[in-house]
Amino acid sequence: MSGKEIFEIADVPISCFSFNKDRSRVAFSPNDHQVFICKKVGSTWEKEAILNEHHQNVTSIDWAPNSNRIVTCSADRNGFVWVEEAGKWSPTLVILRINRAATYVRWSPNEDKFAVASGARLVSVCYFEKENHWWVSKHIKKPIRSTVLAVDWHPNNVLLCASSTDFKARVFSAYIKEIEPKPETTNWGKKMPFGALMAEFSNGYGGWVHDVAFSPSGSKIAWVSHDSTVSVVQGGDNAVVAKICTSSLPFLSVVWVSENSLVTAGHDFVPMVFSYGGDNTVKFVAKLDQPLKNDGEEETISAMDKFRNLDKKNTGKRDEASSTAHVNVINQLSVYAGPKENVSKIASSGLDGKIVIWDIKTLEKSISELKIV
């Protein structure tokens, strides 16, 4: 199917990735302690630099588009901010003050701070301290009761949503009065002292909340959990969680592509589009990818493959998932092109070592039932 570019960028699983502003370079970790920076040359990616400061698996990367700084975090409980000077990347220490693995990191919209999720049941909100030339942190702890798996920033640069393995999605204030003006009122609340819990939600079923994201306007959040549900809620005094229970395997990532449409992906290898309606419902729209059809003819497979499929699935047929763009779990989605309120392309990475660029506008025409609203 047209509308997608597939790059086999590594021969091992990709744990995380992030593009620079003009998408000419990408930083990714091959599921170990290193971060590779690759430059696009034609239709291929060539390695340009290797960041080696971490000692255990790098769990998350975020490349700030305007300041061109890269922030990384790792299972070694450390974080670093990387600055490019004369073609070389130099790390700046981040004082996270955590005793468990860092799991996720994201720059704020103004790029003057970033948030790091961790297994220490807290979120570290970090900002630069010029006197000591390092990044210091403040902790958001209560009422988090388990590992925080992901975070996302509100457009106002103050509010922060977090997903956790205690089955909750929460909205916090990450206002740091030392570096920013007093925030204006939003539909999530008025008073925003640092660490204040603005909202807390559950889908009513259970399951680790793997990812969470603010809508482009910041008025809604969406999250995906291990019970294969997709949930959306609009902030306010009488907020009601809208959710859909799917028959898919669990989703691991979610990204908004317009104010009322979102894309999820995970263990099914295929990104899926959902819409949020004015009647407070979440509806499945379409899959961005489909297994190739063979016109009813059986594919020829080796005796060994047939034996494996008989052993695992009680069928001698080739696994249809092998004909999709990703052939293993998709662990991250991110916006690739277009403004947040009208995304035209998204990118995905997977345990198959691939990064795939999905042209949503082209796919909208290719899949008759797909309607981005």
What residues pair up with 88 in beta bridges, in sequence order? 85
Place of tokens 């995970």: 266
Q: Kindly compute the dihedral angle of the four CA atoms of residues 252, 258, 261, 265, in this order, to the nearest 10 degrees.
A: -20
Q: What is the pLDDT along the chain (373 residues), one digit of tens a residue?
A: 468 999 999 999 999 999 999 999 999 999 999 999 999 998 899 999 999 999 999 999 999 999 999 999 999 999 999 999 988 999 999 999 999 999 999 999 999 999 999 999 999 999 999 888 999 999 999 999 999 999 999 999 999 999 999 999 999 999 999 899 999 999 999 999 999 999 999 998 889 999 999 999 999 999 999 999 999 999 988 899 999 999 999 999 999 999 999 999 999 999 999 999 978 999 999 999 876 554 444 444 556 565 566 555 555 454 444 579 999 999 999 999 999 999 999 999 999 999 999 998 887 666 655 555 5
Residues 6+ apart with CB under 8 A from 173: 158, 159, 160, 183, 192, 193, 194, 195, 196, 198
Nearest CA to 158 out of 208, 103, 206, 112 is that of 112
Do 225 and 212 meet the contact criterion of CB atoms below 8 Å apart? no
Phi then psi for residue 308, to 5 deg, are -60, -45
With vertex at residue 266, the alpha carbon angle to CA 223 and CA 299, rounded to the nearest 5 degrees, is 155
23: alpha, beta or left, given left = phi > 0 and alpha = psi -120 to 50? left
Residue type (1 letter), 306: K
Cα dist from 358 to 231, 275, 316, 344, whole Å? 23, 18, 32, 8
